[in-house]
Amino acid sequence: MTYTLNAAHLYGDLMNTYGDIGNILAMRYYAKAVDATINVDLVSLDDEFDPDTYDFALFGGGQDYEQTIVSKDLQTKKAALTAYIEAGGPCLAICGGFQMLGHYYIGANGEKIAGIGALDHYTLSQDNHRFIGNITIKNAETGQTYYGFENHNGTTFLGKGERPLGEVLQGNGNNGQDKSEGVIYKNTFGSYFHGPILARNEALAKRILKLALQRKYPDADFSALDELHEDLTKNVVIKP
């Protein structure tokens, strides 16, 4: 049997500064192990987001100018995105996308930019400083270690119902204070990891992919994913 997932790349034409589309390409690679394909729609300005259409959503990062534009349009999708997240729809939000799923973030010039409050975090700004460098975290639930690169001015503080993607072992993470990095809320994952995160962290890629597949095909067996071990950063070339 062949399986199909429909993915929404939210504002992929504006919020893809760090090659975040690579996260979907990594998932496509792993999906082949269980005869699954992933179709991708760009959902951008003035487009509708239908929570019943999509099995996975990617929300990447961008510069402040693009995020200001996206913030305004995002309010028109607030109800649909919140419904999708609350229903357990798998989502990966990176940097600016992570910030805008929360209540608000403060831009580099001090302006308050609205999120949609689908998650209960908020983001402040640092004065003339950024968190830049390699980062390593450990997920408390699985014991898995994730590796990445962070580059952000924002400092994010998690809220009700949220838990971190991992505890910081090296680097700064969400805010440089509480050793949290990223967020998990239901089946939504957020992070400041660029790179992209799923190409470098096979276990996380397969975790999110299985969530999407099992949600759509609850009676299918996707154990073959657990037996697949590839390092996409070394020996695999992914083609869209």
Q: Which of 9, 95, 103, 121 is catalytic?
A: 95
Taking phi first (over 0 means left), then psi (-120 to 50 degrees means alpha), and beta for anything else, what does residue 92 get?
beta
Catalytic hit among 9, 103, 152, 194: 194
φ, ψ for residue 12, nearest 5 deg: -65, -20
Residue 143 burial (CB count, 10 A): 8
Which residues fall in the annotated binding site? Answer: 130
Residue 173 falls in which region: left (phi positive, over 0), alpha (psi -120 to 50) or beta: left
The binding site for substrate comprises 130
- Answer for the pair 182, 101: CB distance below 8 angstroms, yes or no: no
Q: Is 9 a catalytic residue?
A: no
Output the CA angle 240-33-37, nearest 5 degrees: 45
Our answer to whether residue 194 is catalytic in this structure is yes
Q: What is the 3-state secondary structure (H, E, C) of 35-75?
A: CEEEEEEEECCCCCCCCCCCCEEEECCCCHHHHHHHHHHHH
Query: Tokens representing 36?
Result: 């699954």
Q: How do strand 183-185 and strand 188-191 relate by DSSP bridges? A: antiparallel
Distances (CA, A) of 210 to 40, 118, 206: 17, 23, 6
Task: Provide the annotated active-site residues.
Answer: 95, 194
